[in-house]
Amino acid sequence: MSVFAEVVERFADLLQPLFQGSAAAAAIVLFTALVRLLVHPLSRAAARGQKAGAALRPRIAELRERHRDDPRKLQEAVLELHARERVSPLGGCLPSLLQAPAFLLLYHLFSSSSLGDDPNGLLHHRLLAAPLGGRWADALGHGGPFGAQGLVYLALFALVGVVATFTYRRTRRGMAAAAPAVAGHGTGPAAGALGAVTRVTPFLSFITLVTVALVPLAAALYVVTSAAWTAVERAVLDREASVEPSRG
């Protein structure tokens, strides 16, 4: 963590002429963008894999209907289908898994009062009035939701709300487009469970609001920046995917 703290401090020094007292916060945003840029090739591959997986949904629904009384055979048939079509059901999780260490590093770095034998100097950095090591509960205790610190969090909540709403609508449109291909295939508990997941999935984007409220502000900045990047990235990738068939 000491090495990473030094990297953040160096970034903050470079950005200080532009962002003054919020330079460390800007450095975290820049760090997040660099992480997402490195992961982007995997995100692009994951988007292609998810598109291929969506095309398999009707066939998987047929397998569920065919093997509804034999869960083991159903699992084997689904795995065989994925292998034959070269589609990984876990491919979409890889970009998120690779980002997890960066988030955890920021979380622990700004939750620790010391680095080795030295005080953690990063805790003195702020985003406007809010300390990067503080949480929303701390802001509420220093002026309430409309105090100087509270307003920083309200701005983040508003930004997350906009991003989450955009993601929610895009997810709903994608599921609505896929619904006709799945409709009529499969009944019973499996179909009911799939329907429940389909109804809940679009709302998962709003979990970011809870995360921002609970983690240190530095980690919240990572989450907000990453969520905004994901929303824009997926919109661009979806548009590219829709353009490719027309070119073909």
Residues whose CB is less than 8 angstroms from the CB of residue 237 and which lie 6 or more positions away in sequence, other chains included: 43, 44, 47
- From the number of C-beta atoms within 10 Å of its C-beta (0-12, 13-18, 19+), residue 57 rates as middle
Note whether 110 and 131 are within 8 A (CB).
Answer: no
CA-based R_g, the chain, Å: 22
Reduce the DSSP state of residue 36 to 3 states and report it: helix
C-alpha 25/C-alpha 217 separation (Å) is 9
Cα angle: 25, vertex 26, 31; to 5 degrees: 100
Reduce the DSSP state of residue 185 to 3 states and report it: coil
Note whether 119 and 78 are within 8 A (CB).
Answer: no
pLDDT number for residue 210? 92
Note whether 198 and 130 are within 8 A (CB).
Answer: no
pLDDT by residue for the chain (248 residues), tens digit each? 778 888 888 989 999 999 998 999 999 999 999 999 998 888 887 777 666 666 667 777 777 777 777 788 777 777 777 677 666 656 567 777 888 888 999 999 999 888 877 888 888 899 999 999 999 999 999 999 999 999 999 999 999 999 999 888 887 776 665 555 444 444 445 444 444 445 666 667 788 899 999 999 999 999 999 999 998 988 888 777 666 555 55
User: Among all chains, which residue has been given the structure tokens 């002026």?
Assistant: 143
C-alpha 30/C-alpha 35 separation (Å) is 9
Tokens of 235: 């919109």
Q: Is the dihedral of CA 84, 89, 90, 91 positive or negative?
A: positive
Q: How far apart are the first and last CA of the chain?
A: 49
pLDDT number for residue 192? 47
Return the amino acid letter for 87. Answer: V
User: Among all chains, which residue has been given the structure tokens 């805790």?
Assistant: 123
Return the amino acid letter for 130. Answer: A
Tokens of 236: 């661009």
Report the DSSP beta bridge partners of residue 118: 115
Q: b/e map of 71-85 (b: 16 or more CB within 10 Å)?
A: eeebeebbeeebeee
